[in-house]
Chains A and B, each alone.
Chain A
Amino acid sequence: MQTKTSKSALFPYVLWIALFVIAPIALVVYYSLLDIHGNFTLDNYKAFFTSVYLKMTLSSFWYAFLITFFTLLVSYPTAYFLTKTKYKQLWLLLIIIPSWINLLLKTYAFIGIFGLYGPLNAFIEVFGFDPKQMLFTDISFVFVSVYIFIPFMILPIFNSLDRLNPALIYAARDLGASAFTTFRRVILPLTMDGVKSGIQVVFIPALSLFMITRLIAGNRVITLGTAIEQQFLVTQNWGMGSTIAVFLILFMVIIMLITGQKKDKGGRVR
C-alpha cells in the first residue's frame, strides 16, 4: 500500500506537523535556553532538578495516574454496556454532548452542587449525616477530572468493542471459560488498541492540568501545568515555562513508547 497516493495523502498531515508541531517545539526549546533577561543559559534545566519541581512532577504523575485509572474503570463498563443497547450510537452521542458545554460553566455548577450548603449536602442531611466538605479535596479533583475525560476514553473503547465478533465470546464460553476469563483472555486483548488510545488521550493531558487544579482543587493540587501557566503569564519567564514544557514533551514520548504499538513479527506493518 506504500504508493504515491498514500504518500500524497500524508502531505497535508506532514505540513501540519512541520508548521504546528515542529515549529512550536523548536520555539519552546529555544526559549528554554534563555533566562529571564534573554541570555543563553542552562540554569532553567538546573532549576528543574530542584525539590520544588521534582515534587511537582511526582504529584503530576500521581494524579494523572489516578485520573486515568478511574476514567478507565468507569468508561470501560459504560462502553461495554452501550454496545449492547438498542440505539447505541445515539446513547454514545448523548454521552458526548455534556462535554460541549463550557468547562468554566460546568465548574460553577459543581461549585453549587458540591457546596457546603448545596443540594448534595442537603440531600445527605436528610438521612441524618453531617454535611461533608466536598469541594477542594483530592477526591473532588479526581472526580471532576474523570468527569471531563470520560468521553475521551469511552469513544475509542466503544469503537473497539463494537467491532468485536460476538462469535469469539460465544466460542470461549462454549469451551468452558468463565465470564472473567473470557474478559481477560478474549475481550480485553482484542480491545487493547482502543484502551491504549484512551489512556494516551487522558493520561498525557492530565499531566498538565491547570484550570481544574485551580477551580476544583483550589491549588491544593499542583501540577506541572500550574507552574507553566504561572511562568508564562505572570512571571513572563518564558524560559522556565518552556523548560518545564520540554520535560512534559519528554515524558510524553516515554509514555508513548511504553503504551505504543508493537512491531508485527513479519510481513505486514502492524
Chain B
Amino acid sequence: MKKLSASARVYLAIVFIVLYAPIFYLIFYSFNSGGTMNSFESFTLEHYKAVFEDSRLLVILINTVIVALLSALISTIIGTLGAIGIVTVKDSKMRNTLLSLNNVLIVSPDVIIGASFLILFTMIGIKLGFASVLLAHVAFSVPIVVLMVLPKLLEMNKSLIDAALDLGATKKDVMMRVILPYIQPGIFAGFFLALTYSLDDFAVTFFVTGNGFSTLSVEIYSMARAGISLTVNAISGLVFFVTVIVVVGYYFITSRANKRTGGTQ
C-alpha cells in the first residue's frame, strides 16, 4: 500500500483533533468537582461514582443502547433488502418514486415525524414505551441504510452475477456469495449510521415514548433547563471508552483472522 504523504497525515490529524475536541472537553469536565463545565475546580471521581449509584440513569443508558443496537440491526436488514429490491425495478419512474419516498423521512423535521408516528401508534393501539420507540427508530433509520447500500449495488458489475449463474450457482448462492459480500461495506456503513441516528435522536423518541421508558437523549434535553449535571459527562465518558475499546478490540481480532486467510485488500 502506498504510504501516506506527510501533508496527508497532518490533514488527517487535524480532522481527528477537531472531531474529538468536544469529546475530550466533555470528558475533561467529567472529572470536575465544580459541578458544571464553566470552570475546573479540582479532580474528582464523584461523578463516575454517582453514575453507578443512579440506577434510573443506568437503566436509561442501557435502554438507549438496546434500542440503538436492535433498531440499527432491524433497519439494516429491511433497508438492505429494500435497496436490493429497488435496484431490480426496471421502470425508472417507479424506481425514482420509491427513492423519493425513501428519502421523505430524512428530510422531514423530527417534530413532524414524532407527531405523526404518535398519531399512527395511538390509532393502531401500540402501547408507548420500548416497542413504540424501537419501531420509530427502525422507521427513520431504514432510509439511511438504503442510501448507503444503494451505491455499492449500483457499482457492482452485473457480469459477476451472470458469471455466477453460468457456473451453476443457485439464486440463493448468488445472493449469499456474490451480492452480499460485495455490498458488505455499504451494509456496515448503513448499520453504523443507523446507530448514530438512533443514539442522537431526541424529538421523535420523546413523542413516542411513555410508561417510564426513556433514552439518554430525552433525559439530557430535559435536564438542559436547570443545567446538565456532570453525571451525564461521566456516562458519556464511560460509553465512549467502552465503545473505543470494543471497536479497537473487535478490529484487531478480525484482522488477525483475515491475515491468516490471506487475500488482497
Residues of A within 8 A of B (CB): 1-3, 5-7, 9-10, 12-14, 16-17, 19-25, 27-28, 74, 77-78, 81-82, 84-87, 89-91, 93-106, 108-110, 112-113, 147, 150-152, 155-156, 158-160, 162-163, 193-194, 196-197, 200-201, 204-205, 207-208, 210, 225, 228-229, 232-233, 238, 241-242, 245, 248-249, 251-253, 256-257, 260-261, 263, 268-270
Contact = CB atoms under 8 A, between A and B. Distances in A.
B60 interface: no
Contacts of B244: 94, 97
Given A20-B117, A102-B220, A268-B158, A204 B19 contact: no
B15 A112 contact: no
A27 B116 contact: yes
Nearest to A89: B251
Interface of B: 1-4, 8-9, 11-12, 15-16, 18-23, 25-26, 29, 37-38, 77-79, 81-82, 84-90, 92, 95-96, 98-113, 115-117, 119-120, 138-140, 142, 144, 146-148, 150-152, 154-155, 158, 161, 171-172, 175, 185-186, 189, 192-193, 195-196, 199-200, 202, 216-217, 220-221, 224, 228, 232-233, 236, 239-240, 243-244, 247-248, 251, 255
A105 B19 contact: no
A98 B23 CA distance: 7
**Max chain A Cβ within 10 angstroms of own Cβ: one of B87, B108, B224, B248:** B108
Contacts of A91: 12
Contacts of A193: 150-151, 154-155
A235 to B, nearest CB: 12
A112 B195 CA distance: 27
- CB-based closest 8 A-B pairs: A13-B82, A10-B85, A109-B22, A24-B116, A193-B151, A20-B139, A252-B107, A155-B189
Given A163-B155, A197-B147, A252-B104, A96 B192 contact: yes
B112 A100 contact: no
B164 to A, nearest CB: 12
B22 A110 contact: yes
11 contacts: A20-B140, A21-B104, A23-B120, A99-B200, A100-B195, A109-B37, A112-B25, A155-B189, A201-B144, A263-B92, A269-B89
Contacts of B224: 104
Nearest to B79: A13
A13 B25 contact: no
Contacts of B109: 208, 210, 225, 228-229, 245, 248
Contacts of B151: 156, 159-160, 193-194, 196-197
A160 B217 CA distance: 32
Contacts of A25: 104
B12 A78 contact: yes
B interface SS class: helix
A102 B199 contact: yes
Contacts of B220: 102, 104-105
B144 A74 contact: no
Given A1-B161, A112-B29, 20 more contacts: A10-B81, A12-B78, A13-B82, A23-B120, A24-B104, A24-B112, A24-B117, A28-B112, A102-B216, A102-B220, A102-B232, A102-B236, A105-B26, A106-B22, A106-B26, A193-B154, A194-B151, A197-B148, A210-B109, A210-B111
Contact of A150 (B9, B19, B192): B19
A260 B96 contact: yes
B88 A208 contact: no
A251 B38 CA distance: 42
A231 to B, nearest CB: 9
Contacts of A12: 77-78, 81-82
B26 A109 contact: yes
A3 B216 CA distance: 44
Contacts of A253: 100
